[in-house]
């Protein structure tokens, strides 16, 4: 890995497993010294609302049900750990916040800020990018 390696992750699906694999990749990358930026947009925003996290109200399949049943770490806990151990920023799409009338206070604490797509594209410039 190079010293200036960067990773951009875009999460657009409400499926729990997509946020979970994104958090796993982001965690390993951040701990490995890679600067990680995550952009949460479209239906994925619902997974980052405080009320849904508190109730564990997620759309998911068999893997999500097993994670919940076995009380394994949830995606937001993995993101939180990664933020403590590496360089990770998490942004929510301002357009989606606008149309869904979501306030920053409605989002869980791991969210750093809301950004428009143009601003995130500037952050992504030159970064490896993964979309979920």
| Confidence check: pLDDT of 29 > 80 | yes
Q: How confident is the model at residue 2 (pLDDT cuts 50, 70, 90)?
A: low
| Confidence check: pLDDT of 16 > 70 | yes
The pTM assigned to this predicted structure is 0.95
Average pLDDT of the segment spanning 10-35: 97
CA separation for the pair 29, 34 (Å, rounded): 5
What average pLDDT is seen over the chain? 96
Enumerate the domain spans of the chain.
6-131
Q: How confident is the model at residue 4 (pLDDT cuts 50, 70, 90)?
A: confident
Fold that domain 6-131 belongs to in CATH: Hypothetical Protein Ychn; Chain: A, (3.40.1260)
Bridge partners, residue 10, by sequence = 39, 131
Q: To the nearest 10°, the Cα dihedral for 22, 19, 96, 6?
A: -10
Using an 8 Å Cβ cutoff, are 24 and 81 in contact?
no
* Each residue's pLDDT tens digit, 70-80: 999 999 999 99
The distance between the two most distant Cα atoms of the chain, rounded to a whole number of Å, is 40
């Amino acid at each position: 890995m190079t010293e200036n390696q960067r990773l951009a992750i875009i999460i657009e699906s409400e499926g729990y497993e997509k946020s979970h694999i994104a958090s796993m990749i982001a965690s390993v990358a951040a701990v490995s010294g890679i600067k990680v930026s995550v952009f949460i947009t479209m239906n994925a925003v619902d997974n980052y609302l405080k009320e849904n996290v508190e109730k564990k109200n997620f759309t998911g399949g068999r893997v999500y049900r097993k994670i919940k049943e076995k009380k394994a770490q949830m995606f937001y806990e993995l993101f939180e750990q990664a933020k403590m151990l590496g360089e990770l920023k998490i942004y929510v799409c301002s357009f989606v916040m606008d149309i869904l009338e979501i306030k920053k206070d409605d989002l869980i604490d791991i969210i750093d800020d809301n950004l428009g797509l143009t601003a995130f594209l500037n952050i992504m410039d030159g970064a490896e990018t993964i979309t979920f």
